[in-house]
């Protein structure tokens, strides 16, 4: 086990974080060795994939970051599935694999199911934690099971889809240790996931810009992926050029009463039915209520093309990022009663 001194500024897409120590693991055996080490040395750890959904305090010298680097994508043998007459296939992807590489792998083979999640940044292991979603699709829609290491028992377990307790941007992996202001690792460390994909034509075209496509025309899965990538690139800056963590806040879920109150006050507010609640747009609230689209304060600001994205213009630290995001939260709450929740994890 090799422990190295690193700056977390170099390991997050927001380029925010101080110095700490890191160990990289590429197998379950290596991970078990690390867990034994932290138990003996009473270390606090943080499980890291590709750092696209976290930013770190400057004061994290006592933290041990465990970077998951288990790689691989493979077809699960003898598990081609037949579901309601629909021919499908199950693939296994390891936690350290880049998520978009998994999407590309499935699209190249003409399989349907996760093409709308193209160009979502991060590693595979982060997908179930956040229940990543985009353009009408969430990872829970296709996920069969998650292979995890239970830190309490040091045993490998398989959690079926229902056991993961998925909801909007939430899962059991968050509930075991809620994301936000935390330096502890989750109870479960994700090792790999199994996803079921369809070999039949099965697009999800409910969200813009896909909802304007000609419903009488048949599209191949590559065309859908290309549209998604072009759309995301037009809204989200490349974090290698302008550091960011994608959507900084969740789209709020609100009650029927609050929905009716907001519609009466703001006639053009976008609100959609979502299960037994209603969902509204955090980006709309930031732009039209907080009036903070394209606003820069010091080293931090909201992206001019998409206010949901907070960017690091210079050498911002965690305190600046936290203060600026809290200002947005406070402004929206004061006017609407909606308290925006961060998607991005603040580790301190």
Token duo for residue 229: 């990538």
User: So what's the pLDDT on residue 182?
Assistant: 41
Mean pLDDT across 118-122: 96
CA distance 283 to 290: 10
State percent of the chain over pLDDT 90: 87
What pLDDT score was predicted for residue 332? 98
Is 169 in the active site?
yes
Residues 6+ apart with CB under 8 A from 228: 115, 116, 118, 119, 134, 135, 210
Per-residue pLDDT, 86? 59
Q: Which of 118, 171, 247, 325 is catalytic?
A: 247
Across the chain, mean pLDDT equals: 92
pLDDT bin (cut points 50, 70, 90) of residue 79 is: low
pLDDT at 4 over 70: yes
**pLDDT band with cut points at 50, 70 and 90 for residue 85:** very low
145 noted as active-site residue? no
37 band by pLDDT with thresholds 50, 70 and 90: very high
Those residues whose C-beta lies under 8 Å from the C-beta of residue 212, and which sit 6 or more positions away, are none
Model pLDDT, residue 178: 45
Q: Looking at 169, 198, 325, 342, which residue is catalytic?
A: 169
198 is catalytic: no
Please state, in angstroms and rounded to a whole number, the distance separating the CA atoms of residues 73 and 194: 10
Q: What is the mean pLDDT of residues 3-18?
A: 97
């Amino acid at each position: 086990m090799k422990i190295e001194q690193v700056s977390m500024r170099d390991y997050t897409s927001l380029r925010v974080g101080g110095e700490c120590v890191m160990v990289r693991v590429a197998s379950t055996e290596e991970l078990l060795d690390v867990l034994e080490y932290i138990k003996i040395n009473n270390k606090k750890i943080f499980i890291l994939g590709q750092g696209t959904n976290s930013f770190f305090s400057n004061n994290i010298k006592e933290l041990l970051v465990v970077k998951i680097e288990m790689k691989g994508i493979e077809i699960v043998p003898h598990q081609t599935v037949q579901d309601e007459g629909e021919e499908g296939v199950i693939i296994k992807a390891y936690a350290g694999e880049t998520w978009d590489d998994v999407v590309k792998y499935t699209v190249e083979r003409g399989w349907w199911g996760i093409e709308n999640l193209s160009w979502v940044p991060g590693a595979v292991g982060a997908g179930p934690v956040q229940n990543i979603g985009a353009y009408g699709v969430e990872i829970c829609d296709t996920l069969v099971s998650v292979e995890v290491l239970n830190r309490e028992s040091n045993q490998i377990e398989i959690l079926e889809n229902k056991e993961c307790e998925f909801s909007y941007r939430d899962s059991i992996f968050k509930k075991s240790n809620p994301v936000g202001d935390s330096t502890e690792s989750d109870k479960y460390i994700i090792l790999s996931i199994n996803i079921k994909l369809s070999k039949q034509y099965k697009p999800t075209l409910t969200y813009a810009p896909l909802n304007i496509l000609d419903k009488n025309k048949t599209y191949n899965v590559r065309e859908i992926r290309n549209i998604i990538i072009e759309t995301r690139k037009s809204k989200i800056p490349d974090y290698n050029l302008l550091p960011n963590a994608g959507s900084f806040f969740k789209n709020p879920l609100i009650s029927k009463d609050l929905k009716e109150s907001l519609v009466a006050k703001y006639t053009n507010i976008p609100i959609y039915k979502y299960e037994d609640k209603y969902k509204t747009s955090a980006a709309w609230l930031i732009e039209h209520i907080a009036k903070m689209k394209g606003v820069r304060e010091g080293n931090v600001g909201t992206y001019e093309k998409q206010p949901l994205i907070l960017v690091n213009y210079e050498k911002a630290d965690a305190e600046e990022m936290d203060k600026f995001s809290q200002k947005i939260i406070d402004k929206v709450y004061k006017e609407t009663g909606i308290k925006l929740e961060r998607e991005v994890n603040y580790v301190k």
